[in-house]
């Protein structure tokens, strides 16, 4: 079995290759066709990330302390800690070998403006969030070497956006979008009926991430006195989850507790059901540990997802470009023909009306040609532009009223890019040549199919 270090190295190699493809191949096209205004990779460049959300006091911070190996986060029964905290590793070792310590702390104010980190989007939530956002570098904690953890303030019932001073749901959404694993904690006292968690589970999380990245956890199960209690709260949570998520099947719920929080370790012996469930804690740990690898899968899905959309835009642009080129030729030729006819008629008219005068035929031809040239100029500068603009507007209208076609996936892609295409067209796009667009579509196709397949193969070979 390869060592952890070789495995980490393999992961790092594949990660770099994927990021290279996103940065150098996909992002430039995505920006050219106005699919995005910021480079696609900016949110994906950072470490694999695990987001922990829950009602207050469900034991998130206690669990984080257990993972990290020391008390880096405040814990307590009341909703005391109302900060978001990002935990990552420090570059330097701890001052005393073998210990774990926080070596650096930063506030959101600084973090949100540092392009090294993926939190620039959070600027839009204002200073209030910035003052509730913390960043800690921890030295000596092995779990943080390859993974970042994000602790969040607990969800509360009575709170409104006004009370918090920032939009909690939107913040959670932004963080979930850049996370590879979202852990949602519950505890036997609060099996999920709180308003903020209702909104989070019903709307925020499904909009921000994929189902397979979300894991539900029933924590603090040591506080159930008997197995029957546990079954009852498990049932309550299942019921509440189905109400909140709108799903009919029961999602996977890991049941665990933090040993470090036990007041009396002998309690474990009085409650044999805890031993039967101890594998669940290991499972949770493994899920967190394998985030580094999942991040690779997520990055490949990221390529597939965006390459499909960017490719579709280049395809739509090609259609528009082709039709416009064809019309341009048609309009130019008809303009030329019309002005030549008009010029000839004027020439003939001059020739005829001055037949008995002194003017020569050459003058009539020259006047005819000059009139034709002038008319053609007027045609090109005024009329042609107006026709082109109204044609362009009709193309925009076509996209606006167009119905998605093809398979369910194709329809989904169409719906997701429709407004981007309209906005680009309204700003005068596509400006690229047909051959460039064709090349770009091909590149997207290569990324989506060949590169993605090759990368997935490479990921399968890690281990």
Ligand X SMILES: Nc1nc2c(ncn2[C@@H]2O[C@H](COP(=O)(O)OP(=O)(O)O)[C@@H](O)[C@H]2O)c(=O)[nH]1
With CB under 5 to 8 Å by kind, the binding choice for 59 among ligand X, Mg ion, none is ligand X
Report the residue number, 57 or 314, with the smaller CB distance to ligand X.
Answer: 57
Report the residue number, 5 or 78, with the smaller CB distance to Mg ion.
Answer: 78
Residue nearest to ligand X (CB): 59
With CB under 5 to 8 Å by kind, the binding choice for 223 among Mg ion, ligand X, none is ligand X
Asked if 358 is part of the footprint of ligand X (rule: CB under 6 A), the reply reads no
Whole-angstrom distance, CA of residue 228 vs CA of residue 217:
18
- Least distance CB 296 / ligand X (angstroms): 30
Selected from 41, 121, 223, 432, the binder of ligand X by CB under 6 A is 223
With CB under 5 to 8 Å by kind, the binding choice for 164 among ligand X, Mg ion, none is none
Asked if 190 is part of the footprint of ligand X (rule: CB under 6 A), the reply reads no
Angular region, 43: left φ>0, alpha ψ -120 to 50, beta rest: alpha
Whole-angstrom distance, CA of residue 218 vs CA of residue 231:
11
Q: What does the buried/exposed string (b/e) look like for 427-459 if buried means 16 or more CB atoms within 10 Å of the residue's CB?
A: eebbebeeebbbebbebbbebbeebbeebeebb
Q: Note whether 192 and 31 are within 8 A (CB).
A: no
With CB under 5 to 8 Å by kind, the binding choice for 56 among ligand X, Mg ion, none is ligand X
Asked if 209 is part of the footprint of ligand X (rule: CB under 6 A), the reply reads no
Query: CA neighbours within 13 Å on the CB side: how many for 190?
Result: 20
Selected from 19, 261, 363, 458, the binder of ligand X by CB under 6 A is 261
Asked if 257 is part of the footprint of ligand X (rule: CB under 6 A), the reply reads yes
Report the residue number, 48 or 188, with the smaller CB distance to ligand X.
Answer: 188
Asked if 319 is part of the footprint of ligand X (rule: CB under 6 A), the reply reads no
Asked if 312 is part of the footprint of ligand X (rule: CB under 6 A), the reply reads no
With CB under 6 A as the rule, give the number of residues binding ligand X: 19
- Least distance CB 460 / ligand X (angstroms): 36
Q: Note whether 161 and 275 are within 8 A (CB).
A: no
CB under 6 A: which stretch of 12-20, 188-196, 220-228, 285-293 binds ligand X?
A: 220-228
Q: Note whether 147 and 49 are within 8 A (CB).
A: yes
With CB under 5 to 8 Å by kind, the binding choice for 402 among Mg ion, ligand X, none is none
Which of the residues 65 through 84 are near ligand X (CB under 6 A)? 75-77
Residue 80, φ and ψ in degrees, nearest 5: -80, -45
CB under 6 A: which stretch of 158-166, 256-264, 423-431, 434-442 binds ligand X?
A: 256-264
96 to 135: interface string for ligand X, x by CB under 6 A: ----------------------------------------
In 3D space, the residue among 459, 148, 451 whose CA is nearest the CA of residue 297 turns out to be: 459
Strand partners, 50: 149, 181
With CB under 5 to 8 Å by kind, the binding choice for 219 among ligand X, Mg ion, none is ligand X
Give the binding site for Mg ion (CB under 5 A). Answer: 61, 81
Selected from 219, 291, 292, 441, the binder of ligand X by CB under 6 A is 219
Report the residue number, 66 or 81, with the smaller CB distance to Mg ion.
Answer: 81
43 to 62: interface string for ligand X, x by CB under 6 A: -----------x-xxxxxxx
- Least distance CB 79 / Mg ion (angstroms): 8
Asked if 154 is part of the footprint of ligand X (rule: CB under 6 A), the reply reads yes
- Least distance CB 304 / Mg ion (angstroms): 36
With CB under 5 to 8 Å by kind, the binding choice for 420 among ligand X, Mg ion, none is none
Report the residue number, 35 or 216, with the smaller CB distance to ligand X.
Answer: 216
- Least distance CB 12 / ligand X (angstroms): 32
Asked if 264 is part of the footprint of ligand X (rule: CB under 6 A), the reply reads no
Binding site for ligand X (CB under 6 A): 54, 56-62, 75-77, 154, 219-220, 222-223, 257-258, 261
């Amino acid at each position: 079995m390869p060592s952890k270090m070789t495995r980490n190295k393999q992961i790092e190699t594949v990660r770099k290759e994927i990021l290279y493809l996103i940065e150098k191949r996909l992002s430039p096209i995505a920006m050219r066709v106005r699919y995005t205004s910021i480079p696609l990779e900016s949110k994906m460049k950072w470490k694999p990330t695990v987001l922990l959300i829950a009602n207050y006091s469900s034991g998130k911070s206690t669990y984080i302390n257990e993972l990290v190996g020391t008390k880096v986060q405040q814990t307590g029964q009341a909703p005391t800690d109302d900060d978001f905290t990002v935990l990552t590793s420090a570059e330097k070792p701890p001052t005393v070998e073998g210990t774990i310590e926080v070596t650096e702390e930063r506030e959101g104010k600084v973090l949100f403006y540092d392009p090294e980190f993926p939190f620039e989007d959070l600027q839009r939530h204002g200073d209030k969030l910035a003052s509730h956002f913390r960043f800690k570098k921890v030295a000596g904690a092995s779990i943080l070497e390859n993974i970042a953890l994000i602790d969040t303030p607990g969800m509360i019932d009575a709170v409104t956006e006004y009370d918090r001073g920032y939009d909690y749901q939107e913040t959670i959404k932004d963080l979930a979008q850049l996370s590879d694993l979202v852990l949602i904690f519950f505890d036997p006292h609060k099996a999920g009926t709180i308003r903020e968690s209702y909104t989070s589970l019903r709307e925020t999380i499904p909009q921000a991430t994929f189902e397979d990245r979300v894991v539900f956890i029933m924590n603090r199960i040591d506080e159930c006195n008997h197995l029957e209690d546990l079954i009852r709260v498990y049932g309550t949570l299942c019921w509440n989850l189905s109400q909140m998520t709108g799903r009919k099947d029961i999602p996977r719920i890991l049941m665990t507790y933090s040993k470090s929080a036990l007041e009396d370790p002998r309690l474990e012996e009085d409650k044999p059901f805890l031993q039967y469930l101890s594998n669940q804690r290991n499972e949770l740990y493994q899920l967190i540990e394998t985030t580094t690898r999942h991040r690779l899968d997520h990055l490949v899905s990221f390529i597939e997802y965006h390459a499909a959309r960017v490719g579709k835009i280049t395809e739509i642009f090609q259609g528009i470009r082709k039709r416009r080129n064809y019309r341009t030729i048609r309009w130019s030729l008809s303009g030329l023909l019309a002005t030549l006819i008009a010029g000839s008629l004027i020439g003939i008219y001059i020739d005829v009306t001055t037949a008995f005068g002194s003017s020569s035929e050459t003058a009539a031809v020259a006047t005819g040609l000059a009139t034709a040239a002038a008319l053609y100029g007027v045609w090109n500068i005024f009329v042609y532009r107006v026709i082109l603009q109204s044609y362009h507007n009709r193309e925009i209208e076509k996209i606006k009223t167009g119905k998605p076609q093809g398979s369910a996936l194709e329809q989904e892609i169409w719906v997701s890019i429709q407004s981007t295409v309209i906005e680009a067209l309204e700003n005068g796009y596509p400006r690229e040549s047909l051959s460039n667009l064709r090349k770009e579509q091909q590149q997207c196709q290569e990324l989506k199919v060949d590169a993605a397949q090759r990368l997935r193969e490479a990921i399968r070979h890690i281990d």
